[in-house]
């Protein structure tokens, strides 16, 4: 699978702890791939989804090549190595995502072979972190709470609408939505989906999409269209920070497209500040 003596090789079970330690040097940026790295542990799937550049016990960078292609805490040399290695292989990932500078270096090796398949480049996605608890405003409560098993049917339409708006594809296509329903049910089971529900319909939802180290990364934020512009988003996000800190992790982060001005204003008003910049390339 890997050229003998090459700098890019599979992460093996014996290298898992060193890989995890490197990823944890920046848990906010690495939250999504880091959560997957921790989830796989020393399983056989580890070497199928993660690669390392350099020495196994002192890695110069990591690459997740699962559903996403995501560089993690990699040096420029490691990024170039990863890019050349991936360019020689069929694309399996539905997106390239990570720190903007890292994605730009990685993409310089991939653009020629994968560029024609790109649906959209989202080069600037501010990475945000909630302020200290005392600085997060307490707005008028909107009744946000964790969804509970049995509410999957109410959450599913909201989650599909969010995915279509955010990613531009239908998550229910192909398998009739079975995999996406299973994902939603799993998040609800683990207490990681938060909702405002009235008359059986979701008005606001957000998920803890990744947990890594002391960081909870928020995904899937959605406000029902007829409720937008009324302050529900900002009040819901402010309430969400307190609940997620209580239930899951002390640091709460998310990233947002730079062109989504309403969302950026809501996040700023609910106590988030920019700490970095990500990029996503969608296929």
pLDDT of residue 174: 83
Structural domain includes residue 193:
yes
In sequence order, what are the beta bridge partners of 186? none
**Are 82 and 214 part of one and the same domain?**
no
56 and 188 belong to one structural domain: no
Q: Please tell me whether residues 148 and 234 are part of one structural domain.
A: yes
Does residue 30 sit within a domain? yes
CATH number of the structural domain spanning residue 39: 3.40.630
Element (H, E) at 52: strand 50-55
pTM above 0.85?
A: yes
Same structural domain, 98 and 161: no
- Is the domain of 80 the same as that of 164? no
Q: Which domain holds residue 234?
A: 133-278
Spatial separation of the C-alpha atoms in residues 76 and 102, rounded to whole Å: 8
Would you say residue 84 lies in a domain? Answer: yes
Q: Is residue 159 part of a domain?
A: yes
- pLDDT at position 137 is 64
Of the residues 52, 87, 118, which one is the last residue of a structural domain? Answer: 118
Number of domains in the chain: 2
Beta strands in 100-240, from DSSP E residues, in sequence order: 120-130, 145-146, 193-198, 201-212, 215-223
Let me know if residue 250 belongs to a domain: yes
Contact present, 68 and 93 (Cβ < 8 Å): yes
Can you give the CATH number for the domain in which 143 is found?
3.40.630.30
Query: Is residue 108 domain-shared with residue 161, that is, in the same domain?
Result: no
**136 DSSP assignment:** S
DSSP state letter for 260: -
Q: What is the mean pLDDT of each run of 10 residues along the chain (283 residues)?
A: 66 96 98 97 94 95 97 97 95 96 98 96 98 71 95 97 92 90 97 97 98 98 95 93 96 97 92 97 97
Sign for the pseudo-dihedral over CA of 210, 211, 217, 222: positive
Q: Are residues 166 and 79 in the same domain?
A: no
Q: Are 266 and 145 found together in one domain?
A: yes
Check whether residue 243 and residue 145 sit in a common domain.
yes
Q: Which pLDDT value is given to residue 90?
A: 92
Give which of 233, 239, 241, 282 is closest to 260, Cα–Cα: 233
What span, in angstroms and rounded, lies between the C-alpha atoms of 255 and 127?
4
Q: Are residues 148 and 274 both part of a single domain?
A: yes
């Amino acid at each position: 699978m890997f050229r003998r003596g090459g700098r890019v090789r599979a992460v093996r079970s014996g290298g898992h702890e060193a890989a995890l330690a490197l990823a944890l040097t920046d848990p906010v940026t690495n939250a999504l791939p880091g959560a997957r790295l921790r989830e796989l542990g020393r399983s056989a799937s580890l070497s199928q989804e993660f690669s390392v550049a350099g020495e196994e016990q002192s890695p110069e960078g990591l690459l997740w090549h699962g559903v996403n292609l995501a560089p993690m805490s990699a040096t420029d040399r490691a990024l170039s190595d990863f890019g050349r290695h991936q360019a020689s292989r069929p694309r399996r990932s539905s997106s390239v995502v990570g720190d903007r500078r890292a994605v730009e270096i990685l993409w310089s090796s991939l653009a020629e072979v994968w560029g024609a398949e790109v649906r959209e480049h989202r080069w600037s996605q501010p990475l945000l972190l909630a302020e200290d608890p005392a600085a997060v405003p307490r707005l008028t409560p909107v009744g946000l709470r964790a969804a509970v098993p049995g509410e999957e049917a109410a959450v599913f339409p909201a989650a599909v609408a969010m995915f279509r708006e955010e990613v531009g594809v239908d998550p229910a296509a192909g398998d009739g939505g079975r995999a996406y329903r299973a994902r939603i049910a799993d998040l609800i089971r683990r207490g990681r989906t938060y909702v405002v529900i009235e008359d059986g319909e979701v008005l606001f939802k957000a998920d803890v999409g990744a947990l890594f180290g002391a960081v909870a990364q928020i995904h899937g934020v959605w406000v029902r269209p007829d409720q937008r512009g009324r302050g529900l988003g900002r009040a819901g996000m402010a309430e969400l920070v307190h609940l997620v800190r209580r239930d899951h992790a002390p640091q709460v982060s998310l990233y947002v497209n730079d062109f989504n001005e309403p969302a950026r204003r809501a996040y700023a008003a609910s106590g988030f500040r920019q700490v970095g910049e990500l990029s996503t390339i969608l296929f």
